[in-house]
Amino acid sequence: MSEEDSQEPESELTEEQKTEIAKWFLLNSPSGEIQYVAKDIRSVLMDENVYNMAVSEAFPLYNKTHMISLEMPNRSGAVIVTSFGELNDNEYLDPRTAQVAKVNHIKQACTDVRPATDEELPSFYIEQFRCALDSELIKYVSEAYPKGACSVYCTNGKDAEPGSNFELTVVISAARHSPQNFCNGFWRSVWNIDFKDDTQLVELSGKIQVGAHYFEEGNVQLDANHECIDTTIFQSPEDSALSIANMIRHHETEYMASLEVSYSNLPDTTFKDLRRKLPVTRTLFPWNNTLQISLNREITKELGLGK
């Protein structure tokens, strides 16, 4: 018996294994590209049952992780799909309009809207702080992220009254999708704001995520994360809101500036580290004129850097 005949045939993947593999690809899709990935997975699987199981589990997680913003059908505004506003599997609170949006995760669309109940909204005391901070953030986001969205949620102490501690969470989500130009990107930040009445302090902790995907004649991805903390004094709703918004503006602007500096140094640092000093062609790479390389030039143009 030959060695080939003695080898046992490979066992076929089970439905559960296929589903988990499909979910992995879906959940790791770059910003704005999950629908394209889902279409390819469907054609590869050729199994509607496995496909439906994978998308039904992956899309809700993807939408919440990417904090996508969806227009509500009554044109009253947009709702951010995030775990901070999640009431059940497909209903999400929009604190600004005091409405609850029903979301079709797979179609990434808001299908219905209803008024939020009193139990789903914070107390009048908390709402004063939430609303004041939301107003300041709208001004900031409209300036910094033309296609961005923001929302402020009460994540702890929803029924708090004066003299009590409570927590608000700020969500900022912005995306620029330009698949026709082979470039997609996003900015996401989450700020936990702990109002401590006993110490008269407000503590901030922020997590920022920035990502970009450029895929013309290549596959280049940026995935950057940053964390920061800050503190201010507990003041009136209006004064607290102004102070908090200014701190968020400062930290995010500072981080964006650091990214731009790092990006401008790519030709002299990262790009050089990725390439041999003298490639197999025995021709030196033109480091003194890297703008002639289309990848560097096109990324700079699409992300609006280097201006």
Q: Residue 221's pLDDT is what?
A: 85
CATH 3.90.1150.210 domain locations along the chain: 123-257
Q: Which pLDDT tens digit goes with each residue over 155-174?
A: 999 999 999 999 999 999 99
Computed over every residue of the chain, the mean pLDDT equals 87
pLDDT for 30 beyond 60: yes
Domain 12-65 has CATH 3.40.640.10: no
Q: Residue 5 — pLDDT band, cuts 50, 70, 90?
A: low
pLDDT for 290 beyond 90: no
Mapped onto helix, strand or coil, the DSSP state of residue 209 is: strand
Q: Residue 48 — pLDDT band, cuts 50, 70, 90?
A: very high
Q: Residue 77's pLDDT is what?
A: 87
Q: Residue 217's pLDDT is what?
A: 77
pLDDT for 42 beyond 80: yes
Average pLDDT over residues 26-34: 93
The reported pTM is: 0.82
Average pLDDT over residues 124-129: 96
Identify which of 171, 187, 269, 180 has the alpha carbon closest to the alpha carbon of residue 216.
180
Long-range CB pairs of 203-207, under 8 A, 24+ apart, other chains included: 203/229, 203/230, 203/231, 204/229, 204/230, 204/231, 204/232, 204/244, 204/247, 204/248, 205/229, 206/230, 206/248, 206/251
Q: Residue 76's pLDDT is what?
A: 81
CATH 3.30.1140.60 domain locations along the chain: 12-65
Q: Residue 297's pLDDT is what?
A: 59
pLDDT for 259 beyond 70: yes
pLDDT exceeding 70 applies to what percent of the chain?
83
237-255 residues labelled b (16+ CB within 10 A) or e (exposed): beebbbbbbebbbebbeeb
What architecture is domain 123-257?
Alpha-Beta Complex (3.90)
Torsion of CA 35, 40, 44, 46, to 10 degrees: 50
Q: Which pLDDT tens digit goes with each residue over 209-225?
A: 999 898 887 788 888 99
Q: Residue 138's pLDDT is what?
A: 96
Q: Residue 123's pLDDT is what?
A: 95
pLDDT for 298 beyond 80: no
Q: Which pLDDT tens digit goes with each residue over 177-219?
A: 888 888 899 999 999 999 999 999 999 999 999 998 988 877 8
Q: Residue 254's pLDDT is what?
A: 94
Q: Which pLDDT tens digit goes with each residue over 89-117?
A: 899 999 999 999 999 999 999 999 999 99
Q: Residue 180's pLDDT is what?
A: 87
Q: Residue 23's pLDDT is what?
A: 96
pLDDT for 28 beyond 70: yes
Overall residue count recorded for the chain in this entry: 307
Q: Are 47 and 88 in contact (CB under 8 A)?
A: no
More confident residue, 264 or 182: 182
pLDDT for 247 beyond 70: yes
pLDDT for 263 beyond 80: no
